[in-house]
Structure 1
């Protein structure tokens, strides 16, 4: 209901803005007030699960009560269970097998029990922690509130895609611009994004003497369509870009098909030369050169990140509302840890085609647990080991689990304390996308000899959501970690990103396609080298670290194609 109402209000506000008509006979609307109303209505239309996860964890953090944390975690686990049971019921109802009747009856009873307990939990949270309920009630930010949340070097780009047009807002501390593009209808934008995505990813990167012979060998080249990318930039960003003059960090909030395309691949000048020519690619002007980029699931995520997910009250944004009264914390402060990292799982597959992913989670599942034999057959990732060994050398104060030690049991229980204290958290492994069945997206760990509920070698999104993190930066150095959770119409950031936000991350680095093992090693190690060269309080420090990592990959001529360097997006606080 909320999204539908938002689209209707957007339509009314935009109509008034374009025609100068009054929205109501008792009030005269100016272009400025209509633009402000449409800005807020657009946010209602773009409400997302990832934004909701950020709001919930920030509210729990602000409340400062471990009892609330336990209730909130039980609530999240119940929601996951309820949704899983709903998917199971759909399969049972569609089946004509008599055996499914018994399973359907049992699943129905379990669903009703989970729903009843969920309602009771909501009532208890409302009664005991009213501030939490207030903080988690989604509310759009006004243009003025957004301006106060932004830093001097930042701009915010909000893009709402509708069937008949695309609406774009550009906001900085000083200025606001709004445009409507009738050329970019929902259908046309989906076609353009699909065309560009077809020339990205492991199956699209070009091959030849200048390409890493261990990567993408024998696959057909698909040159990246820089002309199409330039046209998209010209219609989407160029009309409002004067607003971002002198800004170095660009925060983006997008919707629809555009959420599946990293805006770093937009070309900002008419391309020269042939698309398949590595020298022409190396000379191309990309949006990633102009700005350090970060994405947010919603504009309101600025408030979550900069008002409530802040340990030091002095570091809160000047635009934050007064803090709610916090309850007493039940534990003493713990010693922070620089890094907790896991990866390079022991796998038996040949590393001859080293990309960090497989098709879907369905391909490795056997009922509710992963099939250990199928996990073991995945390719071993040599670059992941090098990446983690480099990080281990960089951070002596670290917990780094490589190979046999990189187990699901270590992540969920053995190293839970280290994870809860770590400033940086890294997973360097295969990432699997959700499939058509109940299988969730997740990360591959070293498989055990026999799968159990405690450890089947696969850290699913719902299991990741139950981790306890206090991390500035979670890096999912794997394939397709920005993908949807597999629900019909699932949003682009509703899977693993949502899970790690709920666990307590301030920012998450995720990928949009299969990534090269070797190129990703270069990107991640260069990003952390840049991160360590700047103070934690530097503006946009994590977004600029990703920018540095991308430049390090592009510095090698064989990796000029954006399939190698553009897959990763920083979601959350840019730094």
Structure 2
């Protein structure tokens, strides 16, 4: 068992002991002190890959040193190599084949070399950049520290799903609330999320097999959305602590377990009336997204990373930030003027665009021999006319933007030709198919226009590890594709990993990702409306991006045919809401 896993399990044990403590009279601690201590223990229990990615990039940014950047990148590559070799060793030892002994010996030697070099790099970083190690191992924030980092119009919801129950905290600058949902342990939570996702994701064999979402097409809905379950989650997770959110319009959430695969926008704030399958009843339903502009974070400590370390101008740091542990060095600005938008998508594909949705088979199915994608299989994916319209609309809105459509939307353009423009872009958009992680080595990624022949430089598939190597200074990255939120899309899996984690590591402050296969037409409306609201928002609005997504969702819901949340709720804003 790794030290990280052991620490998380120990933290959960401490949390349960604190919250299950006896009467206050038998203890010296007050209820407020116990809940504050449990709030910190919960944070250790929910550390995630995406939070680690934010911590690492914020540390590199805060240090502002090219030498550190090179060491940090080498460290990431070594960690990836070590982990890959460990998986290969496990496979070779499990085979127990004498013929595999030479390969096993070579692989173990390579693993030992990687581990030795990683230890040397860690020692070098510790000696030359002591603050980096401190920043990349973020501590849990106290209740007071969290409150200081929240804006006057913001609140935070922390949800920890445990086997026996779910624990919930609600915080604003002025107030703290806590609740325990005894009837929503891990098993019950997973069952509830599965019921809701059954009507949101590719859940059946209707019209084309399990990879096709029947809800995205015309005709009767295959599975009505279970509003009673959605309301139950609201009453047990949000309502008990909602007094802390009074007067706030932006709600930031940190969730765990199965909830990482369910956008909180689909929770209903009133008991359902009318049939679940009736478009009129759905249109009249009050949703959580109506009450709050929503954003999510991979951890509470991400507030500090985003608002204290990933800020170039000291004047823009949150007033609640701790004093800098070392004097920050301003990061060198990318050459050239700031670019409003860089966008890529609508790749040249030959599949029929009829009833197109931005979702495709898993990455395993398009990876050819070795690590490269099969360009023939990529090219055969359905064309996306909605992506083309979406990008053309953005180009009209931002005439000076860099927009690559069709034959220009290549992996080579993203990684080489337009790399400088990407580093200067305020907003970045990828509008294409997204592929989920495969069961083996295949990574999640984004489909670009396939080349004639796959090469290491361009195989038509921008994988998560390749995206992580981009150098961004983007306020907002939009992954207008399917299944870009999680590594495997399964409830209870590692949330907000895969592509979201990669773009955080590349330097994004916030990433808009999707939780299931999305409608091409509805997504075009959502993205263009989101950017329209961004342009109309007043300068300095602390929740501008969360409110822009809220407006985009509202525009989709205005179409009666898109009243079902499968059309409007897939996208989540991860990171800084404004």
1:353 to partner: Cα distance: 3.2
Deviations 1:268-325 (A, max 9, x none): 0011111111011000000010000000000000000000111221111111011221
Selected match of 2:10 from 2, 5, 9:
5
Contact preservation (8 Å) 2:258, 2:492: no
Tell me what 2:536 maps to.
Answer: 533
Tell me what 1:307 maps to.
Answer: 308
Correspondences of 1:232-251 after superposition (within 5 Å): 232-251=233-252
Tell me what 1:119 maps to.
Answer: 119
Contact preservation (8 Å) 1:344, 1:403: yes
Task: Find out whether 1:20 has 2:21 as its counterpart.
Answer: no
Rounded to whole Å, the distance in 1 between the matches of 2:105 and 2:444 is 27
Task: Find out whether 1:194 has 2:198 as its counterpart.
Answer: no
1:4 to partner: Cα distance: 1.1
Tell me what 2:210 maps to.
Answer: none
Task: Find out whether 1:500 has 2:497 as its counterpart.
Answer: no
Rounded to whole Å, the distance in 2 between the matches of 1:544 and 1:222 is 30
Rounded to whole Å, the distance in 1 between the matches of 2:413 and 2:332 is 25
Tell me what 1:283 maps to.
Answer: 284
1:358 to partner: Cα distance: 1.3
1:138 to partner: Cα distance: 1.8
Task: Find out whether 1:371 has 2:374 as its counterpart.
Answer: yes
1:424 to partner: Cα distance: 0.3
Deviations 1:327-370 (A, max 9, x none): 47566764211111111111111111311111311011123111
Contact preservation (8 Å) 1:206, 1:561: no
Unaligned 5+ runs, structure 2: 1-5, 208-212
SS of the counterpart of 2:50? helix
Contact preservation (8 Å) 1:358, 1:432: yes
Tell me what 1:436 maps to.
Answer: 439
Tell me what 1:216 maps to.
Answer: 217
Higher mean C-alpha deviation, range 561-570 or range 118-127: 118-127
Rounded to whole Å, the distance in 1 between the matches of 2:244 and 2:474 is 32
Tell me what 1:32 maps to.
Answer: 32
Tell me what 1:129 maps to.
Answer: 129
Tell me what 1:151 maps to.
Answer: 151
Q: Would the alpha carbon gap of residues 65 and 53 (structure 1) be closer, same or farther in structure 2, given more than 3 Å must change?
A: same
Tell me what 1:571 maps to.
Answer: 574
SS of the counterpart of 1:157? strand
Selected match of 1:474 from 462, 466, 477:
477
Q: Would the alpha carbon gap of residues 143 and 43 (structure 1) be closer, same or farther in structure 2, given more than 3 Å must change?
A: same
Q: Would the alpha carbon gap of residues 32 and 214 (structure 1) be closer, same or farther in structure 2, given more than 3 Å must change?
A: closer
Higher mean C-alpha deviation, range 104-113 or range 447-456: 104-113
Q: Would the alpha carbon gap of residues 90 and 21 (structure 1) be closer, same or farther in structure 2, given more than 3 Å must change?
A: farther
Tell me what 2:64 maps to.
Answer: 64
Task: Find out whether 1:455 has 2:477 as its counterpart.
Answer: no
SS of the counterpart of 1:237? helix
Q: TM-score, normalised by structure 2?
A: 0.94
Q: Would the alpha carbon gap of residues 103 and 406 (structure 1) be closer, same or farther in structure 2, given more than 3 Å must change?
A: farther
Contact preservation (8 Å) 2:54, 2:504: yes
Alpha-carbon RMSD:
2.2
Task: Find out whether 1:325 has 2:327 as its counterpart.
Answer: yes
Q: TM-score, normalised by structure 1?
A: 0.94
Contact preservation (8 Å) 1:202, 1:516: no
Tell me what 2:348 maps to.
Answer: 346
Deviations 1:67-115 (A, max 9, x none): 1111111211222222222233333333467665444333333222222
Tell me what 2:428 maps to.
Answer: 425
1:181 to partner: Cα distance: 1.2
Tell me what 1:42 maps to.
Answer: 42
Tell me what 2:106 maps to.
Answer: 106
Tell me what 1:385 maps to.
Answer: 388
Rounded to whole Å, the distance in 2 between the matches of 1:187 and 1:214 is 27
Contact preservation (8 Å) 2:228, 2:271: yes
Tell me what 2:363 maps to.
Answer: 361
Selected match of 2:339 from 334, 337, 340:
337
Unaligned 5+ runs, structure 1: none
Higher mean C-alpha deviation, range 278-287 or range 448-457: 448-457
Tell me what 1:298 maps to.
Answer: 299
Higher mean C-alpha deviation, range 111-120 or range 505-514: 111-120
SS of the counterpart of 1:358? coil
Rounded to whole Å, the distance in 2 between the matches of 1:462 and 1:423 is 22
Deviations 1:6-60 (A, max 9, x none): 10110121123x532767xxxx211111111000000000011111110111111
Contact preservation (8 Å) 1:214, 1:352: no
1:214 to partner: Cα distance: 11
Q: Would the alpha carbon gap of residues 22 and 494 (structure 1) be closer, same or farther in structure 2, given more than 3 Å must change?
A: farther
SS of the counterpart of 2:294? strand
Tell me what 2:229 maps to.
Answer: 228
Rounded to whole Å, the distance in 2 between the matches of 1:205 and 1:297 is 33
Contact preservation (8 Å) 2:257, 2:491: no
Task: Find out whether 1:175 has 2:179 as its counterpart.
Answer: no
